[in-house]
Amino acid sequence: MIQESAVRPPLVLGDKTYSQMTEDIMKPLETKPNLLWFGAFSIAALVMTMGFALIGYLFVTGTGVWGLNKTVGWAWDITNFVFWVGIGHAGTLISAVLLLFRQKWRTSINRAAEAMTIFAVMCAGIFPVIHTGRPWLAFWMLPLPNVHGSLWVNFNSPLLWDVFAISTYLTVSLVFWYIGLIPDIATVRDRAEGLRKKIYGALAFGWNGSARTWARYEVVCLILAGLSTPLVLSVHTIVSFDFATSVIPGWHTTIFPPYFVAGAIFSGFAMVHTLMILTRSIFKLEEYVTMYHIELMNIVIIITGSVVGLAYGTEFFIAWYSGVEYEQYAFLNRAFGPFAWAYWTMITCNVITPQLFWFNSIRKSAVATFIISIFVNIGMWFERFVIIVTSLHRDYLPSSWAMYSPTFVEIGIFIGTFGLFFTLFLLFAKTLPVIALHEIKTVLKTSGEKYKQAAASRVEKGSAGESPVMPEISLARKPQQETEI
């Protein structure tokens, strides 16, 4: 076993054993949910129902019920789409990129973050579909043979790339998540009785913990992580192409792909905070999702928040440096035009508030982190609103300049997607383990509090002359002959 530095804070607090970890993480699944859960669930379900009712109203009456006009043809819908897709990115980042980098702290949060990814992408998918105006013809976006010739889809269009990117992203994330869940569902199965055992038994795919399966399993997870890493970068890159390949001043910039990806990770980590800080206190998981986890995520937020801030500055500089009047006006209009309030909300929430995490006391406080995460969520929504609406509302022809304000339908549908998101998340937290049990068990011996303390005291005793490294011989590399009797 490789020893970990004693200075590094533990990832699992308290004196835990493997069975104790199983008990702790299975507890929310096996006990009746408390009043808080029921309250949250009813509110979320109610909000979700309202959202779907408004979508129904939209279908019956048409997109005229939205506040869009001839000049501003994209507004809340696409803002919400980019917002939700961006949220999803943190989940994949935690589960895939941190797996490739062998970061042990991901084990406490990856399951919930991946679930968040899937639910967020589901919410995102709603918007382009309803924005098509005739959602029952949404299958026209797929390259299917048809009676018109066949008239195929246009593979030169970034909007079509988006169809492929988002559906691939949803599918691969779902598969990755489920593969990670199988061993844990088996744990639920082996603790359950009756019908419950049957259901989880069917979902566990007959998992039996065999070393041969584990060996393949690890390889599959590694390859899926390797695939998901470029995938997640490609998804928001392609989303940014929806804008960057157009000729609208304010959109037509080469900085968009990295800027969107950084923003996506930034907003995604904020949403992980919003969810995990609530989840850990509702389900009493503070020993697994520790302040150290929160602090590490806060560091990611500072970095990506600073990248986003730098991107805002670069955009302004390039607008001036390019010498293109339209481009310059688009940016001046953003900061000082009629939508200046949105722009400065964005700057405050995205550039200024995350910088508070440089203070030790704020970075290590759950309450402060929660509050700032809400600010970042708001700020990142406004970023997309600012990019989309302020670039469109004053176009080349001043006679067609217009303002945009949402109607209750747009607002209601957006709030409704939050209902959908939280309903799904609450159901997930009640039916499946929110922490990847089989993964967090692997870090217990190296990063559990008790084990770290024991290792540290061994080092102190051994300082008289013994090697501070645990006298454990690695068995893995011992030459062996294949023999059998």
Partner 1 sequence: MSKNFLLGVYDDEQPVLKAVNELRIKGIRVYDVYSPFAIHGMDDAMGIKRTRLTVAAFIYGVIGCTLALSMMIYMNIFDWPINIGGKPAFMGPDFIPVTFELTVLITALGMVGTFLYVSRLAPGIEGNLIDPRVTNDRFIIAVEIKNEEIRRKTEDILKSYGSLEIRERVTEK
Question: Least CB distance from residue 335 to partner 1, whole Å?
Answer: 32
CB-count exposure of residue 129 (10 Å: 0-12, 13-18, 19+)? middle
- CB nearer to partner 1: pick between 242 and 315: 242
Residue pair 439/114 in contact (Cβ under 8 Å)? The answer is no
- Residue 254 touching partner 1 (CB under 8 A): no
Q: Whats the size of the chain, residue-wise?
A: 485
Q: Is 323 helix (H, G, I), strand (E, B) or coil?
A: coil
Question: Least CB distance from residue 16 to partner 1, whole Å?
Answer: 11
Q: How far apart are CA 366 and CA 295, in angstroms?
A: 9
Selected from 63, 97, 190, 281, the binder of partner 1 by CB under 8 A is: 190
Q: How far apart are CA 455 and CA 404, in angstroms?
A: 62
Scanning residues 163 to 182, which ones bind partner 1 (CB under 8 A)? 164-165, 168, 171-172, 175-176, 179, 182
Scanning residues 75 to 134, which ones bind partner 1 (CB under 8 A)? none
Residue pair 141/160 in contact (Cβ under 8 Å)? The answer is yes
- Residue 458 touching partner 1 (CB under 8 A): no
Residue pair 86/240 in contact (Cβ under 8 Å)? The answer is no
- Residue 18 touching partner 1 (CB under 8 A): yes
Q: How far apart are CA 306 and CA 266, in angstroms?
A: 9
- For 420-477, the three-class secondary structure string (H helix, E strand, C coil) is HHHHHHHHHHHHCCCCCHHHHHHHHHHHEHHHHHHHHHHHHHHCCCCCCCCCCCCCCC
Scanning residues 402 to 441, which ones bind partner 1 (CB under 8 A)? 438-439, 441
Selected from 207, 283, 382, 451, the binder of partner 1 by CB under 8 A is: 207
185: its two tokens: 């569902």
Selected from 1, 53, 332, 402, the binder of partner 1 by CB under 8 A is: 1
Q: How far apart are CA 417 and CA 79, in angstroms?
A: 13
- Residue 231 touching partner 1 (CB under 8 A): yes
- Residue 4 touching partner 1 (CB under 8 A): no
- Residue 230 touching partner 1 (CB under 8 A): yes
Beta bridge partners of 321: none
Question: Least CB distance from residue 319 to partner 1, whole Å?
Answer: 26
Scanning residues 136 to 165, which ones bind partner 1 (CB under 8 A)? 143, 149-156, 158, 160-161, 164-165
Scanning residues 269 to 288, which ones bind partner 1 (CB under 8 A)? none
- CB nearer to partner 1: pick between 149 and 323: 149
438: its two tokens: 């089989």
- Residue 238 touching partner 1 (CB under 8 A): yes
- Residue 27 touching partner 1 (CB under 8 A): no
Between vectors from CA 404 to CA 398 and to CA 407, what angle results, nearest 5°?
155
- CB nearer to partner 1: pick between 361 and 483: 483
Scanning residues 318 to 337, which ones bind partner 1 (CB under 8 A)? none
- CB nearer to partner 1: pick between 18 and 359: 18
